[in-house]
Amino acid sequence: MQVDHSSEVRPDLTTRPSERKQTMRNRTRVTAPAALIGTAAVLAVAPTAHAAKAKGGGTPGPETLGDPVYPALGNDGYRVSSYHLDFAYDGTTKLVDATATLRIRTAQALSRFSLDALGLDVRSVRVGGRRAAFEQVAEKLRITPAATLPAKAGVTVCVEYAADPRRSLAHTGWVATPDGFAVACQPDSAHTVFPCNDHPVDKADFTFRLTVPSGLRGVATGQLVRTEQLAGGRTAYTYRSRSPLATELVQITVGDYVVRDRQGPHGLPLRDVVPTARAAALEPALALTPALVEWVEQRLGAYPFETYGLLPCNSDDPEPFDFTGLETQTLTIYRPNYLLQEEARIGSHMMHELVHSYFGNSVSPASWADLWLNEGHADFYGLLYRYERGWPDSLGMTTLEARMKHTYALGDQWRKSSGPVAAPNAVNLFDSQRYLGGVLVLYALRQQVGEEAFNALERAFLERYRDSSASTEDYINVASEVSGQDLSGFLRDWLYGTKTPRMPGHPDWTVTPVSPSASAAPRNRRSGHHDNSATL
Q: 404 pLDDT band (50/70/90 cuts)?
A: very high
Q: 536 pLDDT band (50/70/90 cuts)?
A: confident
At residue 326, the pLDDT reads 98
Give the whole-angstrom CA distance, residue 455 versus residue 481.
Answer: 13
Q: For residue 129, with 0-12 CB atoms within 10 Å meaning exposed, 13-18 middle and 19 or more buried, which class applies? A: exposed
At residue 530, the pLDDT reads 52
List, for residues 455-503, the tens digit of each pLDDT value: 999 999 999 999 999 999 999 999 999 999 999 999 999 999 999 999 9
Give the whole-angstrom CA distance, residue 366 versus residue 78.
Answer: 16
- pTM for this structure? 0.89
List, for residues 293-324, the tens digit of each pLDDT value: 999 999 999 999 999 999 999 998 889 998 99
Task: Confirm if 193 and 85 have CB atoms less than 8 A apart.
Answer: no
Cα 24 to its chain centre, rounded Å, is 17
List, for residues 415-438, the tens digit of each pLDDT value: 999 999 999 999 999 999 999 999
At residue 366, the pLDDT reads 98
Give the whole-angstrom CA distance, residue 311 versus residue 486.
Answer: 43
Higher-confidence residue: 449 or 51? 449
Coil, helix or strand for 162? strand
Whole-number CA gyration radius for the chain: 23
Give the whole-angstrom CA distance, residue 430 versus residue 187.
Answer: 10
Bridge partners (DSSP) listed for residue 160: 99, 124
**Measured CA distances, 320 to 253, 283, 460 (Å):** 14, 21, 38
pLDDT average, residue stretch 142-162: 98
In the sheet with 234-240, reading across from the earlier edge strand, the strands are: 130-131, 121-127, 154-163, 96-106, 78-89, 205-213, 234-240, 223-230
In terms of phi and psi (left: phi > 0; alpha: psi -120 to 50; beta: otherwise), the region of 450 is left
Signed CA dihedral, 376, 414, 526, 335: sign only: negative
What are residue 133's phi and psi, to 5 degrees? -75, 150
Task: Confirm if 165 and 94 have CB atoms less than 8 A apart.
Answer: yes
Q: All domains of the chain, ordered by start, with CATH?
A: 23-169 (2.60.40.1730)
| Inter-axis angle of helices 472-483 and 451-464, nearest 10 | 130
pLDDT average, residue stretch 224-230: 98
